[in-house]
Structure 1
Amino acid sequence: MLTGEIRNKVDKIWTDIWAGGITNPITVIEQLTYLMFIRSLDEKELENESIEALTVEAMPKIFPNDAESQAMRWSKFKTKDSREIYEIVGTKVFPFIKAMNGENTSAFSRYMQDAMFLVPTPQVLQKMITGLDELYEHDIKDLDMQGDLYEYMLGKLATAGQNGQFRTPKHIRDMMVRLLAPTPNDKICDPACGTAGFLVSSAEYIREKYEAEMTTEQWDNFAGEMFTGLDTDRTMLRFSAMNLMLHSINKPHINYVDSVSKQNSISSAYDIILANPPFTGTVDAESINDNLKAVCNTKKTELLFVALFLRMLRKGGRCSCIVPDGVLFSGSNAHKALRKELVENHQLQAVISMPSGVFKPYAGVSTAVLVFTKTGAGGTDKVWFYDMKADGFSLDDKRSAVEANDIPDILARFHNPDGEADRKPTEQSFFVEKSAISGNDYDLSINKYKEVVYEKVEYDAPAVIMARLDQLSIDIASKMEELRGLIGG
């Protein structure tokens, strides 16, 4: 966990960059990401040199052995004059890392071709390098903390993208991962990965639960094959790749793909899908993959993505995804067709309704988490509904920590379905029979099934109330006379 002191240091770097003229949070993180990558290359080279010195075995070189190439290493340039650093990074190091798209390089370097060095002045660059170096040298002790540091920086992305995509808060991601409880043998995908938060949360969960018992083969799988992320924003793909690298996942499948288009033909490939797909976007009807239109003929991304999750999961694969409330109850043919597909042809397990403040300050949209298993042969007998009222944070723009938190209760109840069997629709969670859902046009809104109990209030008879008012009038008049006597005295 990052301490308050480390957060303050990060905020100080951030303030220095803003003061220097870079005010777009995405640009700030992007430029810091490049510097973190440049530093990591030198760390890797130093590690290789240590191994080489101990074993006398030649190790692969990242930086060629000539003087000019060696001068591009972080440890060599970081203490130089600010103007010299700016010249080295801008004209030598940056072109060098942009050209690193080789076979054996990281997922991060694959998306460097269109990267731009935008640090405005030598002074700002020096402050960024000094600030990062101090964090790494004195505060960031291990890879986990590097991951936490990067997550903290990504948390400063407080604006939604043009298609309505926004970063899912970590505690919500962690809840969704724990609902599915992935194992080291699962293949996990987020087809709208953004900054790879769901993949990172899955990796953290697997390490927490299975680290002591994982085989070498499972660790190799963990470093690459286990995790796939798709996105159409190359900046987000760079963030994803860096985020995963800092969580020990060096060779993930991070690919530039429009997931709902014809260019994505992936089918029956994953055990687990975790996603928060874009809500407000529509796509060109011509580019939509025909097999998604067969499930629900629409241009709305939030519907197309759920249809896509069904296609990309293998039979028996499970999904936990976030959808806007409209998906649950809207009356269009496409909305109904998608809900019917989930209920009739697969196993819809849970609908967890979340309060509208969960995604503030990005948006105040009301959302729900759907949990389902791809069967292709039905299996929905009853659906578990939960009305989340609190997530451990205030539901305003500040999102300050508060005590009220339904997430532990959600996880405990979801994993103990027998204990939910006798719960009534007047309670916070309950089961609804499939017949009731199909009879309601496959409406999945919790309000359709929740029963509100109104307390009966007993009022006194009108004559009793009038007598009480008369007595109050007499008391007031008496007090007024008393007050006049005091003023007159």
Structure 2
Amino acid sequence: MLDSETKRRIDTARDILVGKVPDPKSQVEQITIALIYKFMDDMDAEVEELGGDRSFFAGEFAKFGWGRLMSPSVGGHELLSLYSEGISTMPQNAGIPALFRDIFKNAYLPYRDPETLKSFLKVIDGFTYDHSERLGDAFEYLLSVLGSQGDAGQFRTPRHIIDFMVEILQPKKGEVILDPACGTAGFLISAYKHILRSNLDAQGNSTLTPDEKGKMATNFKGYDISPDMVRLSLVNLYLHGFKSPQIFEYDTLTSEDRWNEFADVILANPPFMSPKGGIKPHKRFSIKAKRSEVLFVDYMAEHLSPRGRAGIIVPEGIIFQSQTAYKDLRKMLVENSLVAVISLPAGVFNPYSGVKTSILILDKSLAKKTDKIAFFKVENDGFGLGAQRRAVEGDDLPFVLDQITNYELRITKGEELITSEDDRVLIVPKSKIAASGDYNLIGERYRETSFVSSHFPMVELGDVSEVTSSKRILAEEYVPSGIPFYRTKEIVELSKGHEITLELFISEERFQSIKSRFGSPAKGDLLISAVGTIGISWIVSDDREFYFKDGNLIWVRNLENRPVGK
């Protein structure tokens, strides 16, 4: 567990940099480089104390040693020169392992202020190299600031979602574990910790043999197209005890160099965004596509070993888009490896994105033993869906984990699969999913609803109300404050009686212009979600003024004032 003093030092280092290095990713990179620089000197000092010779800061690199940097006799501008030259030339240092040369690849100092550097390195000086879990946890805390969207549409996956997926897949010692879009290696670290916990005796001691530990170190693999992410992954794994992390700068979608490598467990949250004109993949993909999310899922499905399994976070487009590539992908998954789909609430990636996502669970062995697919719905992941993501009661993740574990166990035993009475679980025959030809993976589409007799007449909604749409609002029309603008996520929270955090607004002038022409929701009107968590409804309970996102919400008005048949 991260101790408060280490956390304080990391926060202080970031506070010092923020004025000169405003980008969070660059802050993390500068702290990462400085820590490894300091740790190399610590290791040199330890060897020296045992009677050996320094190897990292020796020969022509001796002048860059940490002790020299911290010497009171070194002035500010000399410090700038030494440190800047030291980090930029370290990849040419033959005395350090290839891992460290990779970490320093393209490293540079992005500012030229001696006082900032001196204060920053003084804080780094308080860290001591230590291959303990504590230091790994400290680095993971540092990586937690990497929440903003990357150039390729990456979003940092929340830790509790990563751990949830790992618990479903249950990675084991001896298995090859891969993340082909690894970012900062969060999935790999979580899988590694799971295996360590699963191999303890009654006294809490590891039962892993040296050979098993050695094999495990080479069985964890990660690819990423970004050299910055590769650097952070290398450090993250190194600080968790991996002497030679198997992390590679590699374009999973356009390079064929590693196409013939397979994995027993694949965990990933691949980038959702494709460049203008689409991806230009090589010819070995079975699905012909230009969208990155389609190609990544195809890649993972095709690179599982015969008993392989995968957990993949995907955007909603994978679930229901009608284009040929999406349908072909879903058909291939349903026929070969898909065992479950877990719908996550819109807002899991807040405050960085409100994108709606699902988790695909693939298992090539289990998929052959059943003619059904399970659908699970997470409405509450233990955190509010507003920008702050504060902890809330009612977490669905433990329930879904228990349900999917039992579901997979029943398949293994050849027992009958019966849908739970809980509406968060639905089991659907593959034949039913294939019937329409589009292989839609929205579970609610296949739920059979029974109607109970009532003394109230059944009528068309349009006979008793007016179903209408709103005026489309463009992104550039949002303003810092004004009339609140509701989306599906706000309606979901309001339907549960929760308070909402207002995030989007349109101007009073724009609202009045729309209202005069199209009207606006009033007390007693009904709003129904049409995307994401479909069918969630909220009746406007007061005279508040707000507008809503067209296409995401259905507006039903005059519900109580129109007689049947009129």
Q: What is the TM-score with the length of structure 1 in the denominator?
A: 0.83
| Cα gap change, 1:127 to 1:347, in 2 (>3 Å) | same
Corresponding position of 1:480:
none
Task: Output aligned runs, 1:406-421, within 5 Å.
Answer: 406-417=396-407, 418=410, 421=417
SS in 2 for 1:370: strand
SS in 2 for 1:401: coil
Offset of residue 376 of structure 1 = 12
Offset of residue 142 of structure 1 = 5.8
Corresponding position of 1:149:
138
Counterpart selection for 1:430 from 426, 430, 433:
426
Offset of residue 87 of structure 1 = 2.9
1:299-353 CA deviation, whole Å, 9 max, x = no partner?
0010101111122222211111110011011111111111110111x13111111
| Cα gap change, 1:377 to 1:279, in 2 (>3 Å) | same
Offset of residue 366 of structure 1 = 0.5
Structure 2 Cα separation of the partners of residues 450 and 73 of structure 1: 67
Indicate yes or no: 2:233 matched with 1:245.
Answer: no
Amino acid at match of 1:44: M
Offset of residue 77 of structure 1 = 2.6
Amino acid at match of 1:62: F
SS in 1 for 2:272: coil
Indicate yes or no: 2:58 matched with 1:61.
Answer: no
Corresponding position of 1:289:
282
| Cα gap change, 1:48 to 1:422, in 2 (>3 Å) | same
Counterpart selection for 1:132 from 118, 124, 133:
124
Structure 2 Cα separation of the partners of residues 278 and 415 of structure 1: 28
Contact 2:41 2:65 in 1 (8 A): yes
Offset of residue 124 of structure 1 = 1.3
Corresponding position of 1:338:
329
1:39-93 CA deviation, whole Å, 9 max, x = no partner?
110122123234x43xxxx5672222x5x644422244325356143232122x2
Structure 1 Cα separation of the partners of residues 297 and 267 of structure 2: 11
1:107-126 CA deviation, whole Å, 9 max, x = no partner?
34225332222243121112
**Which of the pair is proportionally richer in helix?**
1
Listed as ranges, the gaps of 5+ residues in structure 1 are 460-489
Structure 2 Cα separation of the partners of residues 108 and 446 of structure 1: 48
Q: What is the TM-score with the length of structure 2 in the denominator?
A: 0.72
Task: Output aligned runs, 1:246-285, within 5 Å.
Answer: 246-282=239-275
Contact 2:131 2:241 in 1 (8 A): no
Offset of residue 392 of structure 1 = 1.8
Amino acid at match of 1:2: L
Counterpart selection for 2:295 from 300, 304, 326:
304
Task: Output aligned runs, 1:176-255, within 5 Å.
Answer: 176-210=165-199, 212-223=206-217, 225-255=218-248
SS in 2 for 1:358: coil
Contact 1:82 1:123 in 2 (8 A): no
Contact 1:357 1:364 in 2 (8 A): yes
SS in 1 for 2:314: strand
Amino acid at match of 1:61: S
Corresponding position of 2:353:
363
| Cα gap change, 1:141 to 1:457, in 2 (>3 Å) | farther
1:227-247 CA deviation, whole Å, 9 max, x = no partner?
111111111111111111111
Structure 2 Cα separation of the partners of residues 107 and 437 of structure 1: 48
Structure 2 Cα separation of the partners of residues 60 and 287 of structure 1: 48
After TM superposition, the structure 1 stretch with the greater mean CA deviation from structure 2, 430-439 or 141-150, is: 141-150
After TM superposition, the structure 1 stretch with the greater mean CA deviation from structure 2, 252-261 or 416-425, is: 416-425
Contact 1:189 1:272 in 2 (8 A): yes
Structure 2 Cα separation of the partners of residues 222 and 356 of structure 1: 36
Structure 2 Cα separation of the partners of residues 4 and 455 of structure 1: 58
Contact 2:272 2:293 in 1 (8 A): yes
Offset of residue 453 of structure 1 = 8.3
Contact 2:426 2:443 in 1 (8 A): no
Offset of residue 155 of structure 1 = 1.3
Structure 1 Cα separation of the partners of residues 83 and 189 of structure 2: 30
Counterpart selection for 1:383 from 366, 370, 373:
373
Corresponding position of 1:462:
none
Contact 1:303 1:335 in 2 (8 A): yes
Quote the sequence identity (%): 32
Offset of residue 148 of structure 1 = 1.5
Structure 1 Cα separation of the partners of residues 342 and 154 of structure 2: 20
Counterpart selection for 2:150 from 138, 161, 168:
161
SS in 1 for 2:199: helix
Amino acid at match of 1:254: I
SS in 2 for 1:107: helix
Counterpart selection for 2:65 from 73, 77, 80:
73
After TM superposition, the structure 1 stretch with the greater mean CA deviation from structure 2, 420-429 or 392-401, is: 420-429
Contact 2:272 2:315 in 1 (8 A): yes
After TM superposition, the structure 1 stretch with the greater mean CA deviation from structure 2, 79-88 or 239-248, is: 79-88
Offset of residue 31 of structure 1 = 0.9
Structure 1 Cα separation of the partners of residues 75 and 17 of structure 2: 15
1:22-43 CA deviation, whole Å, 9 max, x = no partner?
1011111111111011011012
Q: How many residues align?
A: 442
Structure 2 Cα separation of the partners of residues 283 and 263 of structure 1: 22
Corresponding position of 1:18:
18
Amino acid at match of 1:12: T
Structure 1 Cα separation of the partners of residues 109 and 396 of structure 2: 44
Corresponding position of 1:403:
393
Structure 1 Cα separation of the partners of residues 213 and 67 of structure 2: 31
Listed as ranges, the gaps of 5+ residues in structure 2 are 201-205, 457-566
Structure 1 Cα separation of the partners of residues 67 and 80 of structure 2: 15
Structure 2 Cα separation of the partners of residues 380 and 332 of structure 1: 28
Structure 1 Cα separation of the partners of residues 356 and 114 of structure 2: 45
Amino acid at match of 2:34: L
Structure 2 Cα separation of the partners of residues 404 and 255 of structure 1: 40
Structure 2 Cα separation of the partners of residues 420 and 412 of structure 1: 17
SS in 1 for 2:64: coil
Task: Output aligned runs, 1:431-446, within 5 Å.
Answer: 431-440=427-436, 441-446=438-443
Task: Output aligned runs, 1:455-470, within 5 Å.
Answer: none
| Cα gap change, 1:455 to 1:407, in 2 (>3 Å) | farther
Structure 2 Cα separation of the partners of residues 358 and 457 of structure 1: 39
Structure 2 Cα separation of the partners of residues 363 and 96 of structure 1: 38
Corresponding position of 1:2:
2
Amino acid at match of 1:13: A
Amino acid at match of 1:219: K
Structure 2 Cα separation of the partners of residues 297 and 332 of structure 1: 11
Amino acid at match of 2:120: M
Structure 1 Cα separation of the partners of residues 42 and 255 of structure 2: 41
Structure 2 Cα separation of the partners of residues 456 and 111 of structure 1: 69
Amino acid at match of 1:406: D
Higher relative contact order (Cα pairs below 8 Å, separated by 6+ residues) = 1
SS in 2 for 1:444: coil
| Cα gap change, 1:59 to 1:222, in 2 (>3 Å) | farther
1:108-167 CA deviation, whole Å, 9 max, x = no partner?
422533222224312111222222333x26xx9762122222111211123111221111
SS in 2 for 1:371: strand
